[in-house]
């Protein structure tokens, strides 16, 4: 069924669904390098909903519109309800989806504007700046992006987290 209904989905529909059920997020992952642990930026654009047909249709719509790295996930929550997600995490595609939806959204427009800035920074600097410097450069944007979240996030600056780990 989702193979058929995706044709009825539009960018306005995806923007409305994202406004109500979506989020963008920037976090920092850790990887072990030769000189110890190093942080690197991880960003995600996600829409989640309990309606599998709807989320699969959005997934197919995005694939049809050139988002090759979009992913579909399902997972059971603690209350036994299964949630379905469509997610984009490749930097070039994050920038593309954010720029496509920014002027079609209302609630999440500020978050998309910040995500566009983050993507532009990463795409410009990732080849010329070390991961540690890039993460430090992005930390202020991460805090701003997380301040838009209604569920609340850890707004501890990365410098504080890193200094606490060294102790």
48 within some domain: yes
* Residue 144 falls inside a structural domain: yes
- Angle among Cα 19, 62, 89 to the nearest 5 degrees reads 75
Higher pLDDT residue, 158 or 140? 140
What predicted TM-score, i.e. pTM, was given to this entire model?
0.80
* pLDDT of amino acid 1: 43
What is the C-alpha end-to-end distance of the chain, expressed in Å? Answer: 55
Establish if 125 belongs to a structural domain: yes
Dist. CA 70–CA 90, nearest whole Å: 8
Within a domain: 157: no
Provide the number of structural domains found in the chain: 1
162 domain residue, yes or no: no
Residue 103 lies in a domain: yes
pLDDT of residue 153: 46
> Is 70 exceeded by the pLDDT of residue 150?
no
pLDDT at 26 over 80: yes
- The answer to whether residue 149 scores a pLDDT higher than 80 is no
Say how far apart CA 111 and CA 152 lie, in whole Å.
Answer: 14
Q: What is the pLDDT of residue 2?
A: 46
| Structural domain includes residue 161 | no
One DSSP character per residue, 18-42 reads: HHHHEEEEEEEEEEEETTEEEEEEE
Domain contains 70:
yes
Is pLDDT above 90 for 88? yes
What is the 3-state secondary structure of 76-139?
ECCCCCEEEEEEECCHHHHHHHHHHHCCCCCCCHHHHHHHHHHHHHHHHHCCCCCHHHHHHHHH
Per-residue pLDDT tens digits for 43-69: 999 999 999 999 999 999 999 999 999
Domain that holds residue 52: 2-152
What local confidence, expressed as pLDDT, does residue 6 receive?
63
Q: Does position 75 have pLDDT exceeding 70, yes or no?
A: yes
Compute the mean pLDDT over every residue in the chain, rounded to the nearest whole number: 83
Higher-confidence residue: 116 or 155? Answer: 116
More confident residue, 42 or 154: 42
φ, ψ of residue 166 to 5 degrees: the values are -75, -20
Smallest CA-to-CA distance from 58 within 112, 115, 2, 108 is with 2
pLDDT of 161 higher than 60: no
Q: Residue 58 maps to which CATH number?
A: 3.10.28.10
Reported as a pLDDT band with limits 50, 70 and 90, residue 22 is: very high
């Amino acid at each position: 069924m989702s193979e058929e209904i995706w044709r009825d989905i539009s960018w306005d529909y995806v923007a409305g669904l994202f406004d109500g059920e979506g989020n963008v997020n920037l976090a920092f992952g850790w990887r072990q390098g030769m000189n110890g642990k190093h942080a690197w930026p991880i960003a995600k654009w996600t829409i989640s909903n309990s309606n599998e047909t709807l989320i699969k249709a959005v997934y197919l719509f995005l694939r049809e519109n050139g988002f090759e790295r979009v992913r579909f996930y399902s997972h059971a929550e603690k209350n036994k309800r299964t949630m379905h997600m469509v997610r984009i995490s490749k930097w070039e595609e994050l920038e593309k989806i954010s720029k496509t939806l920014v002027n079609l959204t209302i609630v999440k427009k500020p978050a998309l504007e910040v995500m566009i800035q983050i993507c532009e920074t990463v795409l410009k600097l990732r080849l010329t700046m070390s991961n540690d410097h890039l993460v430090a450069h992005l930390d202020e944007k991460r805090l701003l992006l997380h301040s838009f979240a209604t569920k609340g996030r850890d707004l501890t600056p990365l410098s504080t987290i890193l200094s606490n780990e060294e102790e």
